[in-house]
Amino acid sequence: MLLAFEDEADLAQGLASALGQPLALVRRHRFPDGETRLRLPPDLPERTIVLRGLQDPDAKLAVLLLAAAGARELGARHLTLVSPYLAYMRQDMAFTPGEVVSQRHLGRLLAAAFDTLVTVDPHLHRVATLDEVVPGRRGLALSAAPLLGAHVARQVPDALLLAPDEEAGQWVRAAATAHGLDHAVCRKQRHGDREVDVALPDADVRGRAVVLLDDVASTGRTLIAAAQGALAHGAATVDVAVSHALFVGDAYAAVRAAGVRHIWSSDCVPHASNAVSVVPLIAAALRGLA
């Protein structure tokens, strides 16, 4: 059985159909004081999958952990969390004394609640595998990059795939290699939440159809800086492809206003820019785990 929340019903429906499993939505009642009452199907199968993307994580985590604990009481012995977007992965060290290493602690909380964790393009920097994030549990990190690469190759066959920073190099290389596209990697310096500088690579972007590919678009400032740089260096067009379309606040409009032609994303995070579905990818991975 797949358990999901109503705000991710489309993704859940697609995943349940692909798996041939029944879907049940967690029923929620929000009390006036801000607490939530949860209701799950009373007889859960031994193997239960919970779908919960962790964009806007602070609003979701308490309810997710309560749902997992409740699911165990109702019969689920093996619980898999499918979190297409896994939050807090970037806070993987104490950058200043006293800073909480959220990646480590969220990983431990999820490891206490779930047996298996499946996600897509987690932002792992200083740890090599998702297994390390959920100690003693199985962690499976899938990638939407080849799917995005296929979409880009269909839409812009002569694209130059550009990673806006070194960390995105891994996804750009995967996508470019799978589809025979040219690629290059920019260098980024972050000065604040919304202040970034992006230096273009030596590769000549003049007259090229540049497609920026990254894991996350949050404030969009990384994409904006890279797009402006590419256009200033003579790129013919700039499009964007991202795994996780967070696009907080004015981000989406601001990226478009920077001269970006198309914005494509995977449906890890429900958004108007969704152009590629990760449902078959996740379904195949779950079948492989069964």
Q: Which residues are catalytic?
A: 188
Q: Which of 183, 274, 166, 255 is nearest to 217 (CA)?
A: 255
And the tokens for 223? Answer: 């994409």
Shortest distance in whole angstroms from residue 269 CB to ligand R5P:
13
Selected from 56, 115, 131, 167, the binder of ligand R5P by CB under 6 A is: 167
Interface pattern 172-211 for ligand R5P (x via CB under 6 A):
------------------------x---------------
Does position 219 interact with ligand R5P (CB under 6 A)? The reply is yes
- d(CA 124, CA 132) in angstroms, rounded, equals 10
Give the integer Cα–Cα distance in Å for 22 and 8: 15
Among 218, 243, 265, 273, binds ligand R5P (CB under 6 A): 218
Q: Residue 56 interacts with ligand R5P (CB under 6 A)? A: no
d(CA 146, CA 123): 16
Shortest distance in whole angstroms from residue 227 CB to ligand R5P: 12
We find the least distance from the C-beta atom of residue 224 to ligand R5P, in angstroms, to be 8
Looking at 96-141, list the stretches that DSSP marks H as alpha helix, in order from N- to C-terminal side: 102-113, 130-133
185: CB partners within 8 A, 6+ apart? 162, 163, 165, 166, 168, 169, 172, 201
> Does residue 273 interact with ligand R5P by CB under 6 A?
no
- Considering only 216, 226, 276, 278, the residue that binds ligand R5P (CB under 6 A) is 216
Instruction: Tell me which residue of 70, 62, 13 sits closest to 34, measured CA to CA.
Output: 62
Could you give the 3-state DSSP secondary structure of residue 278? coil
For residue 165, state whether it binds ligand R5P (rule: CB under 6 A). Answer: yes
Q: Which stretch binds ligand R5P (CB under 6 A): 47-55, 135-143, 146-154, 160-168?
A: 160-168
- Write out the residues near ligand R5P by the rule CB under 6 A: 123, 164-165, 167-168, 196, 214-222
